[in-house]
Amino acid sequence: MNLIESSKKTFNNFQRQFTAFIAPYNLSKAADIYSHDEWPRLRFAHRYQSHFAPLKWKKLKILAIGVGGYEDHTYGGEALKTWKTYFPNSMVYGLDIIDKRYLEEDRIKIFHCDQNDEYLIQEVLAETGELDIIIEDGSSANEHHIKAFHTFFPALKDGGIYAAENIHHSYWPSLKDGKWSNLAKDSLELQNWINVGGSLDLNDPKTVMNMFKRLVDGLNYEEFLNPKYTPSYFDKHIVSIHFYHNLVILYKGINNEKSNFIENNQLQPFVLETLGVKSLEELDLDFSKIDNKRSEEYTKSN
């Protein structure tokens, strides 16, 4: 790099830092500090803005699953540095299957760990304690997205936020034939893209997007007319879900707002009286057709 290029780069960096300084609540400006041509700034900064701005000055614990850069030591950690800059009183944790601990600095700690290793993850969570924000951008495989949500969402404090990025892999089927497998043999990045386990079927239950779709119903579990229904952990602990292009943001809390008409998943007496019956059985409803698998699905997170 010649002197002119070096001076230009230094000036551009100063300009970005100054802009972020005079606009402290603008997350996109903070992300621009760590942007460069080969590696774009935090992609979802404009989406996170309204969710994270009220938390900016709080003392938080933030976990990013996936540090970035794969095996390339010249990239990675851009998002961690963005969170450190935007949340000046917070501790930022990163977790990656590639050893990225060389990127650690004040208020940034990185764990070298497979997000699917339940034993090691419990050790990580024992060290971090309850978390305020979790940003999941690790493995592209749908089964890993789903497992990560089951593992990490319970580690949030009430009022905590879980963000699942890059859920476009829900719509990509795995490319398992020999040609693609051979290409990916020596590249973790290509393995990530090829073995995603998504589906062309928009209703395929094994995709992470369809897991989140099912969780939407859980927001209203108090309204379910099914006397045998047992609320899942997620029914009881998700209070809102926000869908964006390629991003889902969930808030944790106590979801116990009562229904006006249903209690314990049965019609209240005044509703039965209005309908002219004394019991639910008299309505001759066929509850055997109700899919009650969602409680079984999430039993391990109770």
Rounded CA separation 144/95 (Å): 14
Q: In terms of pLDDT, which residue wins out, 288 or 284?
A: 284
Q: What is the pLDDT at residue 299?
A: 42
Q: Which residues are paired to 262 by β-bridges?
A: 267
Domain annotation for the chain: domains and CATH numbers? 39-259+293-301 (3.40.50.150)
User: Mind listing the pLDDT tens digit for each residue in 62-89?
Assistant: 999 999 877 777 778 889 999 999 999 9
Phi-psi region of 61 (alpha: psi -120 to 50; beta: other; left: phi over 0): beta
Rounded CA separation 299/88 (Å): 38
User: Mind listing the pLDDT tens digit for each residue in 17-55?
Assistant: 656 666 678 888 888 888 765 455 578 989 999 999 999
For residue 266, pLDDT over 70 is answered with: yes
Please classify residue 75 by burial: count the beta carbons closer than 10 Å to its beta carbon, then call 0-12 exposed, 13-18 middle and 19+ buried: middle
Q: In terms of pLDDT, which residue wins out, 83 or 299?
A: 83
Q: In terms of pLDDT, which residue wins out, 178 or 69?
A: 69
For residue 13, pLDDT over 80 is answered with: no
